[in-house]
Amino acid sequence: MNPAELSISQLRAAYQSGDLNPADAINSLTEAIVAKDDAIGGYLSYDTETALAEAAAADISLPLGGVPIAIKDLINVKGHPASCASKILDGKYTAPYDATVIRKLREAGAIPFGRANMDEFAMGSSNENSGIKPCKNPHDLNRIPGGSSGGSAAVVAANTAIAALGSDTGGSIRQPASHCGVVGLKPTYGRVSRYGLVAFASSLDQIGPLTKSVEDAALLLEVIAGSDAKDSTCLDEPVPKYSEFVGQDIKGLKVGLPKEYFAEGLHPLVKERVEKAIQYLESQGAETVEISLPNTEHAVATYYIIATAEASANLARFDGVRYGHRTSESPQDPEDNKLIYHYKHSRAEGFGDEVKRRILLGTYVLSSGYADEYYKRAQKVRTLIRDDFSNAFEQVDVIASPVAPTPAFKVGEKSTDPLAMYLADIYTISTNLAGICGISVPCGTVSEDGSDLPVGLQLLGKPLGEADILKVGAVVEAGQKS
């Protein structure tokens, strides 16, 4: 038994039976990382020694006792680096505190192990925007793993992690999960505390699990979810035992199929895999209903106004004063304002292209004379997008759709065309604008250039409807094995 290849539930069973101990898992993962990760680039760093010390002290009777979890490099783990895959923080920042999700993981006995690669500050859909190094798709090293949680998805898919945490602002958990053939869940906005998550777009960001099974996603979610005094947007609602919904039947459950998500632009073979998974749900007693989300066509435009506006404000904190990169240049021109020069050069030297573009766009849409035209208007269209989902969920229990319009594309294919990259987020972006929950579950592969590329089925649930999407997701997963 190779521990690195196990799921959380399998690893826990092996601990309980005495076949394995937590140090075996850390050692096995380290061997797997050494063997595979140079080619994949899923990790920015890892610390076997610290993890082994934690493994020696692990209490395997706890819900995640001794289970190593890879952490996207924008979640603070005390004593670990957190670079957000940006040169502005790389080698210059060690987290001085634990994020709430890390505190909860530790209380459940888990071991944070490994810093997963990502697009810089979570801005991207391909991991090509990592400021440190690219991450590749383990199913085809010439292709992107998706993004922004590309590292989190790749390490789970490559069996160089048991499971991982990522974050999802517009699809950043679900899309890489789909491209890498793993399960990825984006919780309802406010279900999981954002305290200790480096902010990209605060009204859209959520932390969630990327795992080898739906059951594992449930096991992680039931640990990390719940209210937090340190995040005022975190909902004070009871946390169900999500894992109990895995394996329940779906007879009579209504599944909505948004016609806008099956329209032109969807790769025919992706469509076929998704439709086959939906047919399996029907065979298991679910009832499908065609629905409409009429404002879908406006989602990408709305998102890229709101997300960049929030990002431009959030990233103002990187000023070369208190932490992060500081320029060593000083103004030569006596007319230059020295403080502004300091800010502009520190930031310009630290941030990569996509981060700069988004800060510029966000600054523009918030600037005097344009804020009403762009930002205010986008917030109103956001209301319409949210209403689309509220209306749909009066008719159906969950919504099923593709995650991404195509399988993982080739490295470099879209990297010079930001708009083309943004448009590929069409099926995942509305979820964040509406604040609802969503999961990507593998539903087959598409063969391209001799590689079998995974495809995910997306299931969207009502606010706090994680139990529903996990229940249906587990049926999809079972259908793949049957």
Partner 1 sequence: MDIRKIANLARLELTDDEAARYEPQLEQILHHVEQLKKVNIEGIEPTAHATPIFDVIREDVTHGESFTQEEALANAPAVVQGQIKMPKVVE
Residue ranges in 49-108 that form contacts with partner 1 under rule CB under 8 A: 92-94, 96-97
Q: Choose the stretch contacting partner 1; rule: CB under 8 A; options: 32-40, 243-251, 271-279, 350-358.
A: 350-358
Contacts of 206 (CB under 8 A, 6+ apart): 167, 168, 169, 186, 187, 188, 189, 191, 192, 194, 432
Q: Which is nearer to partner 1, 91 or 247 (CB)?
A: 91
- Residue 133's CB: how many other CB atoms inside 10 A? 12
Query: Please, what is the minimum distance in Å from the beta carbon of residue 363 to partner 1?
Result: 4
Q: Choose the stretch contacting partner 1; rule: CB under 8 A; options: 254-262, 348-356, 404-412, 446-454.
A: 348-356
* Interface positions, 300-319, toward partner 1 (CB under 8 A): 300-302, 304-305, 312, 316, 319
| From 86, 125, 148, 430, the catalytic residue | 148
Task: Give the H/E segment covering residue 114.
Answer: strand 111-116
Q: Which is nearer to partner 1, 25 or 385 (CB)?
A: 385
109 binds partner 1 (CB under 8 A): no
Contacts of 46 (CB under 8 A, 6+ apart): 30, 33, 113, 114, 115
- Catalytic residue status for 283: no
* Interface positions, 422-481, toward partner 1 (CB under 8 A): 422, 432-436, 463
Q: Which is nearer to partner 1, 56 or 360 (CB)?
A: 360
The amino acid sitting at 101 is V
- Catalytic residue status for 17: no
| From 7, 9, 28, 72, the catalytic residue | 72
Q: Which is nearer to partner 1, 244 or 329 (CB)?
A: 329
Look at strands 164-168 and 68-72 and give their pairing. parallel
The candidate with the shortest Cα–Cα distance to 262, out of 254, 253, 277, 272, is 272
Look at strands 111-116 and 68-72 and give their pairing. parallel
* Interface positions, 176-235, toward partner 1 (CB under 8 A): 188-190, 203-204, 229, 232-233, 235
Query: Please, what is the minimum distance in Å from the beta carbon of residue 397 to partner 1?
Result: 20
Query: Please, what is the minimum distance in Å from the beta carbon of residue 376 to partner 1?
Result: 6
Query: Please, what is the minimum distance in Å from the beta carbon of residue 359 to partner 1?
Result: 5
Bridge partner list, 197 = 75
Query: Please, what is the minimum distance in Å from the beta carbon of residue 248 to partner 1?
Result: 26
Instruction: Quickly tell me which residue has 């006995």 as its tokens.
Output: 109
Task: Give the H/E segment covering residue 438.
Answer: strand 437-448
15 binds partner 1 (CB under 8 A): no
Contacts of 306 (CB under 8 A, 6+ apart): 201, 203, 204, 375, 378, 379, 382, 433
298 binds partner 1 (CB under 8 A): yes
Query: Please, what is the minimum distance in Å from the beta carbon of residue 357 to partner 1?
Result: 6
Query: Please, what is the minimum distance in Å from the beta carbon of residue 57 to partner 1?
Result: 21
The amino acid sitting at 153 is A
Contacts of 323 (CB under 8 A, 6+ apart): 89, 92, 93
Contacts of 238 (CB under 8 A, 6+ apart): none
Instruction: Quickly tell me which residue has 């196990």 as its tokens.
Output: 6
| Count of residues touching partner 1 (by CB under 8 A) | 73
- Catalytic residue status for 368: no
* Interface positions, 122-181, toward partner 1 (CB under 8 A): none
* Interface positions, 370-429, toward partner 1 (CB under 8 A): 374, 376-384, 386, 418-419, 422
- Residue 383's CB: how many other CB atoms inside 10 A? 13
For partner 1, the binding residue among 342, 414, 462, 471 (CB under 8 A) is 342
Rg, Å, the chain Cα set: 21
Q: Which is nearer to partner 1, 36 or 298 (CB)?
A: 298
Provide the annotated active-site residues: 72, 148, 172
